[in-house]
Chain A
Amino acid sequence: MKLVFIGLLTFLPALSWGQHQIRVAYFGETITHYGLKGAYDKVWKSHESSKESGATIKKEILWGGSLAVFRHPHQLVGVIASPEISLRRTGKRGGLIDVAFAPAYFRYFYEGKTYEYTGNEFRKIPLAGRSAFLPTLSVGGGRDLSVNKQIPFMWYYRVNVMRQYPYNSSSLMRFALEAGVIKKF
């Protein structure tokens, strides 16, 4: 149910037209636990201001959804689905700074074989794993190549700080590096 709800939120932005963007990135949980992330963002609000020098500063609020898959070898394969809201500032030379929040759903599957004792034997559990809530705060930067070079791409990176609930009797801090490209439409 949670997955359906978050999935609907995730894909809701695609239902309306207007300026939108697609992100594809390397997603490294603890940097080296490799994975991929895809995301769709829509500009919700945008504000441009010009300085006396003629330079333009753009501030945007974007919302969208993302899906990341990563592998922590010999531990788990994780899937993270989430709606996201981002604040982005694009400077006069195209430099980006953005901050994002994502109330994510995290589903993970253990690698290897998981067994449960039934009272007289060990039963193998297929696709053993758990679900968790993973609120995520991201801070990052990048460059909009369309500002000076007329290339309709941006490159970006983000550091994601995540908290997994529940984890054993409390919660678990995780972090991830995300880096990739954004294509504007």
Chain B
Amino acid sequence: MHRFAFSFFLISILFACQEDETDITYDLRLRHKGADMPVWVRGNIASGKMILFLHGGPGDCAMCYRYYFKDIENSFAIAYWDQRIAGSSSGVTDVSTLTYAQFLEDTELVIDLLKAQFPNTELYLMGHSFGVELGWQYLAKPVNQAKVKGFIAVNGIYSSYRWLYNMREWVLARADERNDQRARNFALENPLDPETILSYPWLTLYRHMYRLDGNPVSLYSDGRFVTNYTFFSPNLTFAQFTHGKHYGNVTETDGLVFEKGNDLQNITIPVALFWGEKDGVVPVAVANETFGLLTQTQPELILFTESWHEPFVTENKKFIEATRLFLDNN
């Protein structure tokens, strides 16, 4: 037993001495309204182009996905920002600050901080899932559009109602395909009405969607990802698992009345929609609607046919190439 413990200790020391993968160029942190939010900047600053990654959730993490974005860093810089009470964000933060208005204020400050720190660098936004909502919120203000060069939206929504509408359609279609009466009956018995959306049992619909393989990808089934995340990254190992319980209120209120359909028609900066085509969380129908609403720019729609909600995980090379192309061309 003691021999085993001693060997374990020696192996740990060796790992500790190993060069880690967190050789970040700049470690920044924004303290605002109780939250100490890390903004790790990595990659090729000399390119003059930087991507600010707006992670999903709410309550997901940014730096944890670096594992999948590393190859982009050869070409451009990436800023990984963990939002308040998310990822490795720290501090003493009141749950009442978890509102869409506060998330927008934080986004604006993070972008202003990056602009102040890197005045000669062009900034692009890349939002994933909830991060896309942040992106649309930010760009809805014309003054903000002048601060960023482009936006890559990855499997995210512009309208809560259209999201749930399309998810319900997805569940009905998949339930028919798989002859799943339980899911089919639930969707049929619960039609969606924009007037009563706040009381819609969306979580049950969401669970049916998951059961129908709307997003079967789990990052935690990748041992190398887990090892890197736990031992060799700046992430706080267990932080990710403490946050979930705090988001009940914001997802049941702001999260169900989010609507930026009209604002999309005022966006003039370059936009690319990267979409996992098999996604049930935010079905591809939402991408097509978003594409149609972006009338003042020429959006690109890149479909990842073998992917669900995280195309950067399942079709990593294609995702990186598409990102490079978008930044090179814009």
Stretch in contact with the other chain, from A1-9, A43-51, A168-176: A168-176
| Cα distance, A178 to B313, chains bound together (Å) | 36
Which of the four size classes fits the interface of chain B? 35 or more
Contact B232 A32 (CB under 8 A): yes
Count how many pairs of residues, one from A and one from B, have CB atoms less than 8 Å apart in the complex. 128
Scan residues 92-134 of chain B and give those whose CB is less than 8 A from a CB of chain A.
92-95, 109, 112-113, 116
Given contact pairs A28-B12, A75-B236, A130 touches B29 in the complex (Cβ within 8 A): no
**Is B143's beta carbon under 8 Å from chain A?**
no
With both beta carbons as reference points, the residue of chain A lying nearest to B32 in the complex is identified as A117
Contacts of B182 in A (CB 8 A): none
With both beta carbons as reference points, the residue of chain A lying nearest to B26 in the complex is identified as A112
Scan residues 139-185 of chain A and give those whose CB is less than 8 A from a CB of chain B.
141-143, 155, 157, 166-174, 177, 179
Contact B31 A115 (CB under 8 A): yes
Scan residues 88-127 of chain A and give those whose CB is less than 8 A from a CB of chain B.
95, 110-117, 122, 125
Contact A130 B232 (CB under 8 A): no
- Minimum Cβ distance to chain B for residue A61 (Å): 22
**Is B237's beta carbon under 8 Å from chain A?**
yes
Contact B29 A28 (CB under 8 A): no
Given contact pairs A72-B234, A74-B234, A166-B92, A32 touches B15 in the complex (Cβ within 8 A): yes
| Cα distance, A122 to B112, chains bound together (Å) | 9
User: What are 5 A-B residue pairs whose CB atoms fall within 8 Å in the complex?
Assistant: A116-B31, A128-B29, A168-B89, A168-B246, A173-B242
Scan residues 47-99 of chain A and give those whose CB is less than 8 A from a CB of chain B.
72-75, 95
Known pairs A125-B31, A174-B237; list 15 more (Cβ under 8 Å). A30-B231, A31-B12, A32-B12, A32-B16, A73-B20, A74-B24, A110-B29, A110-B36, A115-B31, A116-B32, A128-B36, A157-B5, A166-B92, A167-B90, A169-B246
The 8 A CB mask of B22-53 against A (1 = contact, 0 = none) is 10101111111001101010000000000000
Contacts of B236 in A (CB 8 A): 72, 75, 172, 174
Partner of A112, one of B13, B29, B113: B29
Contacts of A72 in B (CB 8 A): 234, 236
- Minimum Cβ distance to chain B for residue A111 (Å): 5
**Is B1's beta carbon under 8 Å from chain A?**
yes
Residues of A within 8 A of B (CB): 26, 28, 30-34, 72-75, 95, 110-117, 122, 125, 128, 130, 141-143, 155, 157, 166-174, 177, 179
Contacts of A167 in B (CB 8 A): 90, 239, 242
Contacts of B245 in A (CB 8 A): 170
| Cα distance, A143 to B35, chains bound together (Å) | 45
| Cα distance, A32 to B16, chains bound together (Å) | 4
Contact A172 B239 (CB under 8 A): yes
Contact A168 B243 (CB under 8 A): yes
**Is B6's beta carbon under 8 Å from chain A?**
yes
Top 7 A-B residue pairs of the complex, sorted by shortest distance between their CB atoms: A112-B27, A74-B234, A114-B29, A179-B9, A75-B234, A173-B238, A32-B231
